[in-house]
C-alpha cells in the first residue's frame, strides 16, 4: 500500500544532503514514513474522538506527534 510517491521520497532524501539515492533507500524510507504516519494519524484520531470531535485537526496531529516524542 504505497501512499507517498517515490519522487517525493527522493526529494526528501536529497534535501537531506544526498546527491545520489538508491531505489532501495527510497523504498525503505517510504515504508517507514508511511508506517509512522499511520501511527500518528491513529493516535490523532483517538485524541480527537476522546475530545468528542469527529474531525482530526492540526492540533490533534501536533499533540499526537508530541506524545510520540517526535516534536517539542
How confident is the model at residue 12, as a pLDDT? Answer: 97
d(CA 70, CA 5): 23
Class of domain 6-67: mainly alpha
How confident is the model at residue 68, as a pLDDT? Answer: 82
Q: Where are the domains of the chain?
A: 6-67
Looking at every residue in the chain, the average pLDDT score rounds to 93
How confident is the model at residue 63, as a pLDDT? Answer: 94
How confident is the model at residue 10, as a pLDDT? Answer: 97
How confident is the model at residue 70, as a pLDDT? Answer: 65
The predicted model scores a pTM of 0.83
pLDDT, tens only, 7-22: 999 999 999 999 999 9
Q: Environment class of residue 64 by beta-carbon count within 10 Å: exposed (0-12), middle (13-18) or buried (19+)? A: buried
Amino acid at each position: 500500500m504505497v501512499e507517498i510517491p517515490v519522487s517525493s521520497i527522493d526529494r526528501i532524501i536529497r534535501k537531506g544532503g544526498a546527491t545520489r539515492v538508491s531505489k532501495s533507500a527510497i523504498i525503505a524510507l517510504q515504508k517507514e514514513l508511511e508506517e509512522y504516519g499511520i501511527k500518528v494519524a491513529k493516535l490523532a484520531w483517538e485524541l480527537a474522538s476522546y475530545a468528542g470531535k469527529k474531525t482530526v485537526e492540526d492540533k490533534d496531529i501536533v499533540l499526537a506527534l508530541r506524545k510520540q516524542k517526535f516534536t517539542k
